[in-house]
Amino acid sequence: MGIGLDATTVLTGLLIFLARIADVSMGTMRTISIVHGRTKRAFFLGFIEVSVWLIVISTVINQITSKPILGLFYAFGFSSGNVVGIMIEKKLAFGHLVLRVITRRFGDIMASKIRDSGYAVTTFRGEGKLGPVTELYIVCRRRDLNDVLMQVKDIDPQAFYITEQAGSVSKVYRPSMQSHTGWRAILKMK
């Protein structure tokens, strides 16, 4: 019994591979949506994910005994789909984070600069191993985290910070000075 490697089998295998990438990517994003409490998104992603999976698995099961190479395409598609799903989710960066910054000398300056950028900042005074510190609490969208961290590091490269996933947030302040470009700006033109 050979592995059944002909043009039709390779084409079927590539389609299985691509379909598995699609459905496993959706599964990864669905799981992350569930963790973030986004039930509608999780519902639709789950529906599409399982629909694609049923088509793929029925194709593989019907042909696996005569063309075992399809099992490899299936497995590689699954593995690749996990990676692709994580990459897509990181690009989309859904959800919010709590950024805690601890600085020894620049708390007031840092809070002022971040507030000037449009983010809400709450500060606390505390005591660290080497003396007084200021802790800043900032809630921001995950996609804004790098911008806020750049500001923190510009002021105090030695600042200590921690990020935490925010389950639900009552109100998030976003930068008010966003650029007026893109399709939304065109729709808002009068």
Q: So where are the chain's domains?
A: 7-92, 96-166
Selection from 91, 74, 77 nearest residue 32 by Cα: 91
Q: Are the beta carbons of 19 and 73 closer than 8 angstroms?
A: no
List pLDDT tens digits, range 157-168: 999 999 998 766
For residue 173, which of 149, 145, 141, 150 has the smallest C-alpha distance?
141
Q: Which CATH class is domain 96-166?
A: alpha beta
38-90 residue pLDDT tens:
899 999 999 999 999 999 999 889 888 888 899 999 999 999 999 999 899 88
pLDDT tens sequence across 94-140: 778 899 999 999 999 999 999 999 898 999 999 999 999 999 999 98
pLDDT at 21 exceeding the cut of 50? yes
The answer to whether 114 touches 151, Cβ cutoff 8 Å, is yes
Model-wide pTM > 0.85 = no
